Structure 1
């Protein structure tokens, strides 16, 4: 938002301080100032001149040789303006002035030059060449500025600076809109002047809205407000004797400083009231209104053309201003083209209303149309400004157009009032929240300067203030006593409050075992096992689950899902991991991913829905899932089991794998599946390979293994204590062994058999399993790394051979193994 410093001075005496200090005070106590721009900058060496002679250039058909009087002397200037005429007042760029050629490119300094053999001592400027295209819009590409439209020739002194002649001596202050989203009262100059008066302890001048003498007469147009929820107030009046022309120079200057292009007298008046009071208003050409005014919801399939020339398709959710036959405006957003004010307008219906902010926001998003008016309505404007804004419209119209008069009376009704309840706040509460001693007189004075009503009540221990909130602060901003503390603190000055650490007992937060386990798990899998963490949706697609042959009746269905194609809450993490694998394995040869997240089981009761009821939400355990798949790896089960082993080793918990039991999911390969069992036969998860049929149905090119662990079930087996084990002083020895055994022999039985042998056997690691016709029917090959760890000395080769031979003997005698030599 842009503010005019001169406009603000109409309502408050601003102290004589630097612009930088003024901007700092506003930023620290009111709103954030993005920048300050002194208008007229860039118009140096550009003065007012008069063309006293304009002759055809002897060597160019499209150019004229002009003699221009700039007061102190005459200049000879070559000009190609299409509207150049003798006696014309023009903007003259003298030597050294900076302009843009035809409004394009970088600034160029004017120099004395020869054009087609004639000396040119300056430049007669077009509006876009000196940044005044809004003030002097061009009707022709080669048109130069005609100052006679803005200035009285007989009272003008030639040669005066153009900025001075046009009254461009203002300062534009640009405000960051995000800093006043919660302050609907600051979207106009008067509201901002109210804050400035409070900051500098100055008096605020009354808002210049005169009483309307015809107010008690009935309105010339009938007004029916059918939706008093979306239209919270409506005021209107009919004015005749209107003559459309340009608005006064002072009004155009104000509007330009606020960033608004002047249009014509009536439109400029409505915009002026909006930028001054923050109250959007509208003017309709009354002769195009059929019957009276009706504020209603649009009818289905109804259409209208708005001021921007766009045809709008309306629905019953859109509030419109209509006459008895058609909609004539989108309420709070934009007027209609049929009732727009034009040069032929002789009577207008002025509207100053108040619209529901949510309704305006929704309609604005529906049409992709945000205007200065809609932005202000979205902030929840004060409904009392409806009548005040109408009075200002009438006063300005009567001042600018002397022939204008009111026909009939005004219509003004208010249907919604902000809930304004007095707030009680104690001085001790203020000091506690601010953390600094606040004088009672200062607190009361601050609130009163901000137009709050304040009553004091003293007790022996404290002083209580009863504060009445003004209507313009009650629509959105002030509702809690903490809001009042903020008002006092910002006016007191945040930079004056001493920074002191609060005093309270510091206690560590209550330990969350699930969260701690989740963090440890993420670190181990990511940093030690080389897995990448993924985040998938908590919502599942019916189509995807059906491809996985899942029982959809076991899933919780949302009544109002965020995405219509994902209406189900996930029961486990496998579908999401498989979706990641399907998308990535077509581009990468290896995928190793994991996820930690909550799942939802409707058959198991969880926590209470509310403390007041016995109803329970579905159980929401936290699960860990990880997936491993690699091109050429036909047994990814072992890669996944290696990561599982590393994880549990780092968590200092013991487990075993049981391949027995019923499989409850068609996703899992029935022959490559195991339960993860803890001490005491408690199951905490599963490890399995993806079923080949599901793999083919999903289009996953390689075999994949999946591990799923319920962290809630694993937590009881974790121990806080950790032990230190020194590194062995003697080097370990690793020997490999490969042997053929019956397919019924399991990895667990191999490990148990070997551990019965040498007490120095430290680790048994399976690294290969192979089966084929060359091995014989129902036979398989298993290959292991056997690690022997000496405790008292470094072994010789003969000693190692003896221990390894004993391990081979146990395999042969206990498992019937046939050791492979090649």
Structure 2
């Protein structure tokens, strides 16, 4: 929101310089992004009168040699390419030595055969707007030689304020003026508060409440125009709680917005268009109430506020033909929809240069309805931006009156006496506010008089809880004590502060206005003796172990598209295919929660490969979400528990019953080389063994031993997939990815991956007795090597397990150091060479003991796997 300081000072005259105002607003909780000085560098531009015009024809274009008088005596000759002015007009002349916005200095120069002594300026060249199609023609009574910068108030300051969504009132000069006046302790006269005048000029009785007008039109449409106002029917009163319609006639088509107001619009970030449109924009910027102007001659029948019907279409003001959704709130007449309520008007009733009768709409629309319509049609506007954040529902009549006054002043319009005001606003709700909350939540004590004063400055009505609500600003006698020993107030928030709904919101207002810097800094007291849980320590150990092995951790978004199960080749009965759909996804291609970490890792790998990093070893630990069976009847407790107390056991159980399963997994992806090429050799590509080794790294970090067996599970290659088990429970898979999956994700050939259920691994590790340090034997080891011939289909894990069982307690380590397949062992056979290290804790092994352990290991392997000792 851009706030023009000269406009702000009209509301609060005694404000200090712009920088001080910005600092005060920042202290009050507003984010002032910039303070921009505009027009201060303009100098030497004066008002002149066109004395004569001579056409100069050239091959490229025609220009005019203009004689302008800038003082009582003497004229200046200026070359000008514009044709929208004539002899006798008053124009802005930049004399030699003048400076225009941006530091552009004007000099006399020879052009088109003449010496041009300056320049006649357009509006854009003076920084008033972006209209550079013609020269800026000043009013005929402008004094000759007058300084144009002072005349048009070009020098100004603009505050650029980023308004948070909960402070919609800040999207108006009215709201910022109130905050600025409060910050400096200055008086603020709300422009929407009017005194009671029985039977006003337009036949409307004005009330003392801010912007309130007594109802003149009942809810249903009135059959004819006249003193009772334009007929309006509100079908959806929940989405439109207030609708005010006023009609003006006799609008002068040729009316032009005064330069001062056009400049104000331009500095506020809006383009001046025409008097009716500029008036609605000025009211919106000033008061915060979006208005819409209909050409009354183009309307047929009464205005109807309703939801769109199937098949209806609307061409909006941007020229786009839009298919309407049944959830869209529209403004319609007998011909159908003529506007998207709170978002944008329709082209069929647009104000044109020939419009003489205007219907002004000032309404209050539901923020959710407007936000959904704007998002559905990807059609954001200044109006929707305000309605989405909440507009003062009491503001509509005052805004309509202000628009009528400006149209009468600027375009000679006459307001019809009838007023339509359909009001379905709920009654204001008072908040029971214990004063002790300010100290409990604010971190410091606040005197009662300070709390009362700050709430009144916000606009609240403050009264004692035991008596009737008093008028705003009434302090009243000492409030009674509540059960907690503190006073209690009844606080009614103002209509423009829809964000004030509970005691904590009121405490925040007091803290904000008193200054967050007045809150003392205290460090929280942490309970002693609490460290990381065993599960947390294990998760950190897993991350550290993988990082030590050269893996790089990534964090990917947990959202995937509808096609993810198909791209991974998952079948319908696979638990990973049971996705949880997001009710409000951030994108259409990310509408589900992930059931596996692999898609995110694949995307990260593809992104890195596209940036030239082909040798990758990535890992991620994180939650996945798998759908559970939906209960037939919803749980009795509400699914949105209160925040002022801890939910009960029944509520927690009901909430947990509808949550998806959320196991924590760890996964890795490897592409390219695991060992780079260099003088030492060509390097080695990552293979499925490296993926299995990553699983062993995770298991070792938690103290769990994995069993590896061949399997065929998507998305892994059926011939290069390993099933990983611990204590007889399958905890994950590792291996080379299936070629179809590699093609679906655009990964390099032979990409490998591993995924483990980390929660299950930690659960298994936690169920085991504490690990004790092994006794280190001081006696020398006995090493024995053996080579066993087994069938090619026998897993190495089975042979290893048999050797360990046969060797018994003397076996310290067992290492597979060679695998051979060839003619020397026969077809369908392979040779596995193992190194056995044997050691006793209490003695040096004899050769006979070592050989006996070796032979026992061979015998057990022969019994369990059919292995034959290779000689």
The alignment's TM-score, normalised by the length of structure 1, stands at 0.80
- Structure 2 counterpart of 1:314, from 315, 324, 339: 324
Q: Deviation string for 1:574-595 (max 9, x for gaps)? A: 8998999999999968877675
Contact 1:184 1:472 in 2 (8 A): no
Contact 1:219 1:238 in 2 (8 A): no
Structure 1 pair 389–731 and aligned structure 2 pair: CA distance change class (3 A): farther
- The answer for the alignment partner of 1:360 in structure 2 is 370
Name the stretch that deviates more: 515-524 or 579-588.
579-588
Contact 2:718 2:738 in 1 (8 A): yes
- Structure 1 counterpart of 2:514, from 492, 503, 509: 492
- The answer for the alignment partner of 1:214 in structure 2 is 203
Contact 2:243 2:361 in 1 (8 A): yes
- The answer for the alignment partner of 2:167 in structure 1 is 183
- The answer for the alignment partner of 1:265 in structure 2 is 275
- The answer for the alignment partner of 1:425 in structure 2 is 434
Q: Does 1:239 align with 2:227?
A: no
Name the stretch that deviates more: 633-642 or 715-724.
633-642
Kindly report which structure 2 residues correspond to 1:45-444, keeping only aligned pairs within 5 A, or say none: 45-55=44-54, 62-71=62-71, 74=74, 76-83=76-83, 85-99=86-100, 108-116=104-112, 118-134=114-130, 137-139=131-133, 143-147=134-138, 151-153=139-141, 156-176=142-162, 179-207=163-191, 211=200, 213-215=202-204, 218-244=227-253, 245-401=255-411, 404-407=414-417, 409-417=418-426, 420-426=429-435, 428-444=436-452
Whole-Å separation in 1 of the counterparts to 2:87 and 2:323: 52
Whole-Å separation in 2 of the counterparts to 1:292 and 1:520: 72
For residue 279 of structure 1, report the CA deviation from its aligned partner. 0.8
For residue 464 of structure 1, report the CA deviation from its aligned partner. 1.8
Secondary structure (helix, strand or coil) at the match of 2:507 reads helix
- The answer for the alignment partner of 1:763 in structure 2 is 813
Contact 2:294 2:351 in 1 (8 A): yes
- The answer for the alignment partner of 2:495 in structure 1 is 472
Structure 1 pair 722–249 and aligned structure 2 pair: CA distance change class (3 A): farther
Secondary structure (helix, strand or coil) at the match of 1:6 reads helix
- The answer for the alignment partner of 1:5 in structure 2 is 5
Secondary structure (helix, strand or coil) at the match of 1:361 reads helix
Whole-Å separation in 2 of the counterparts to 1:206 and 1:583: 56
For residue 774 of structure 1, report the CA deviation from its aligned partner. 3.1
Secondary structure (helix, strand or coil) at the match of 1:518 reads helix
- Structure 1 counterpart of 2:803, from 731, 750, 768: 750
Structure 1 pair 99–732 and aligned structure 2 pair: CA distance change class (3 A): farther
RMSD: 4.9
Structure with higher Rg: it is: 1
Whole-Å separation in 2 of the counterparts to 1:246 and 1:389: 21
Secondary structure (helix, strand or coil) at the match of 1:45 reads strand
Secondary structure (helix, strand or coil) at the match of 2:318 reads coil
Contact 2:66 2:80 in 1 (8 A): no
Secondary structure (helix, strand or coil) at the match of 2:349 reads coil
For residue 420 of structure 1, report the CA deviation from its aligned partner. 2.0
Whole-Å separation in 1 of the counterparts to 2:828 and 2:422: 94
Secondary structure (helix, strand or coil) at the match of 1:158 reads coil
Structure 1 pair 635–781 and aligned structure 2 pair: CA distance change class (3 A): farther
Q: Does 1:14 align with 2:14?
A: yes
Whole-Å separation in 2 of the counterparts to 1:118 and 1:487: 66
- The answer for the alignment partner of 1:481 in structure 2 is 503
Name the stretch that deviates more: 747-756 or 572-581.
572-581
Whole-Å separation in 2 of the counterparts to 1:375 and 1:792: 82
For residue 383 of structure 1, report the CA deviation from its aligned partner. 1.6
- The answer for the alignment partner of 1:103 in structure 2 is none
Q: Deviation string for 1:234-286 (max 9, x for gaps)? A: 11122223323113444334333423333333332222221221111122222
- The answer for the alignment partner of 2:473 in structure 1 is none
Secondary structure (helix, strand or coil) at the match of 2:389 reads coil
Whole-Å separation in 2 of the counterparts to 1:274 and 1:23: 22
Secondary structure (helix, strand or coil) at the match of 1:94 reads strand
Q: Does 1:516 align with 2:537?
A: yes
- The answer for the alignment partner of 1:716 in structure 2 is 766
Secondary structure (helix, strand or coil) at the match of 2:463 reads strand
Q: Which runs of 5+ in 1 are unaligned?
A: 101-105
Q: Deviation string for 1:539-566 (max 9, x for gaps)? A: 8868639945563599646587769999
Whole-Å separation in 2 of the counterparts to 1:63 and 1:491: 60
For residue 322 of structure 1, report the CA deviation from its aligned partner. 1.9
- Structure 2 counterpart of 1:506, from 516, 523, 527: 527
Contact 1:667 1:694 in 2 (8 A): no
Secondary structure (helix, strand or coil) at the match of 2:110 reads strand
Kindly report which structure 2 residues correspond to 1:621-640, keeping only aligned pairs within 5 A, or say none: 621-624=663-666, 639=690
For residue 600 of structure 1, report the CA deviation from its aligned partner. 4.5
Contact 2:614 2:671 in 1 (8 A): no
For residue 721 of structure 1, report the CA deviation from its aligned partner. 6.1
Structure 1 pair 44–499 and aligned structure 2 pair: CA distance change class (3 A): same
Secondary structure (helix, strand or coil) at the match of 1:111 reads coil
For residue 412 of structure 1, report the CA deviation from its aligned partner. 0.6
Contact 1:48 1:161 in 2 (8 A): yes
Whole-Å separation in 2 of the counterparts to 1:9 and 1:608: 57
Contact 2:39 2:127 in 1 (8 A): no
For residue 719 of structure 1, report the CA deviation from its aligned partner. 6.0
Q: Deviation string for 1:60-102 (max 9, x for gaps)? A: 98444444332286454341333364433222222233458xx
Whole-Å separation in 1 of the counterparts to 2:22 and 2:858: 90
For residue 43 of structure 1, report the CA deviation from its aligned partner. 1.9
Structure 1 pair 120–803 and aligned structure 2 pair: CA distance change class (3 A): farther
Contact 2:691 2:754 in 1 (8 A): yes
Contact 1:584 1:591 in 2 (8 A): no
Kindly report which structure 2 residues correspond to 1:408-807, keeping only aligned pairs within 5 A, or say none: 409-417=418-426, 420-426=429-435, 428-456=436-464, 457-459=479-481, 462-475=485-498, 477-502=499-524, 504-507=525-528, 511-528=532-549, 530=551, 544=566, 547-548=569-570, 551-552=573-574, 556=578, 597-598=623-624, 600=626, 610-611=651-652, 616=657, 620-624=662-666, 639=690, 642-653=693-704, 655=705, 657=707, 676-678=725-727, 683=729, 685=731, 702=750, 708-709=756-757, 710-717=760-767, 723=773, 738=787, 740=789, 746-753=799-806, 762-776=812-826, 779-785=829-835
Structure 1 pair 725–258 and aligned structure 2 pair: CA distance change class (3 A): farther
For residue 349 of structure 1, report the CA deviation from its aligned partner. 1.7
Contact 1:71 1:157 in 2 (8 A): no
Q: Which runs of 5+ in 2 are unaligned?
A: 195-199, 205-215, 217-225, 465-478, 632-647, 674-682
Secondary structure (helix, strand or coil) at the match of 1:317 reads coil
Whole-Å separation in 1 of the counterparts to 2:166 and 2:697: 54
Whole-Å separation in 2 of the counterparts to 1:515 and 1:10: 61
Whole-Å separation in 2 of the counterparts to 1:645 and 1:33: 55
